[in-house]
Amino acid sequence: MSRIFVGMSGGVDSTMAASILKGQGHEVVGLTLKMWDDASRCCNYDDIMDAKNAAHKLGIRHYVINMKKEFKKKVVDYFIADFLNGKTPNPCVICNAELKFRVLLQKMKELNFDYVATGHYARIVKKNGGYCLKEAADPLKSQEYFLSRLKPDELQKILFPLGNLTKQKIVAMAKAGGIYVEKPESQEACFMRKNETPYEFIKRSSDISGSGKGAFYTSSGEKISDIKDSAYFNFTVGQRRGLGLSAGKPVYVVKIDAENKRVIVGEKKEAFTESFFISGINMFVENKKAVFSALVKIRYRQKKSPAKVTVIGDRALIKFKEPQFAVTPGQLAVIYKAGIVVGSGFIESAKNS
């Protein structure tokens, strides 16, 4: 029997993770992180109470840890800074690696527990003597993309009880056990209000008076118009709708020039990129060669695409076999081989060659 901390959000996935582990005879204790007073999901008051109620039904202890100060510094401030710098951040990726699992693992060590677990859909496998992330059995729910910033040595102390199960099976098990709570799955960052845009959040959460609104330009440097109702950091590469432009033809955001507060737009073909750099690479599987072939995903819902990866220190050059649409600075590129995460890094810039 092991002693396991389970990160609980009040939803069916984390509740079932705790239930499965308890059913296996382990000593299970639930932990919920309080991270934002105005959260739309994951860590607001209702979710914390749902987690407490779920723990009560399961007959396990449950504790809440206040992480609001750390969450603002590591996640919210990063989110705002990336947008102001012309990037499109991925706060869930940062939150998982820099906050949620960091805290769970720290408490595990402090209190002499054996493992931490969450309700994420992913698997951990051993390869070449180390630990790697692998896609979950349910391809529609697999969340290894969001977990790819975890460190290989951390994986040996992490459990994902749902990795071999489908969401449909988990819901059926929860209903049969009388612990199912139906909750909507929001697509927004948890600290943003429902239907709030990043621009609206940044405007109410920080002093951007000196940021300026900016203007739309063509890739050839011709000014189209000033940005009227928002600012340059309200847009992301690949965006077509909501630009407020009358160009006479469909145009897409192809680049954000934060230094000059310019949103560069053009035809769809201009938003395709063949090569780009990633930085801060986190490798799970060491490759003997500095250049190797793999599959790369540049956003969570995108299909993996064949590419050549050239590792250069803590950076890498990714060159796709076929140009990909909307390679977006600030987002995460995840490298795969046979369903296993080889590594990941943040998209830095397009090379366009």
Tell me the C-alpha distance between 244 and 109, whole Å: 52
Question: 190 catalytic, yes or no?
Answer: yes
- What letter represents residue 255's amino acid? K
CA–CA–CA angle 144, 256, 296 (5° rounding): 25
Residue count of the chain, please give it. Answer: 353
Active site residue 95: yes
Pairing of strands 3-7, 115-117: parallel
CB of 237 within 8 A of CB of 253? yes
The residues pairing with 28 across neighbouring beta strands, listed in sequence order, are 4
Q: How far apart are CA 133 and CA 101, in angstroms?
A: 15
Question: What is the distance between the alpha carbons of residues 114 and 5, in angstroms, rounded to a whole number?
Answer: 8
CA of residue 121 relative to chain centroid, distance: 13
Q: 317 phi and psi, to 5 degrees?
A: -100, 125
Q: Out of 43, 92, 132, 190, pick the active-site residue.
A: 190
Choose the catalytic residue: 42, 43, 92, 95: 95
Nearest-angstrom CA–CA distance, 34 and 64: 7
Distances (CA, A) of 223 to 13, 220, 230, 236: 49, 9, 17, 18
Tell whether the torsion through CA atoms of 109, 115, 120 and 124 is positive or negative: positive
Comparing CA positions, the residue from 64, 133, 51, 70 lying closest to residue 297 is 133
Whether 220 and 233 have beta carbons less than 8 Å apart is answered as no
Catalytic residues: 95, 190
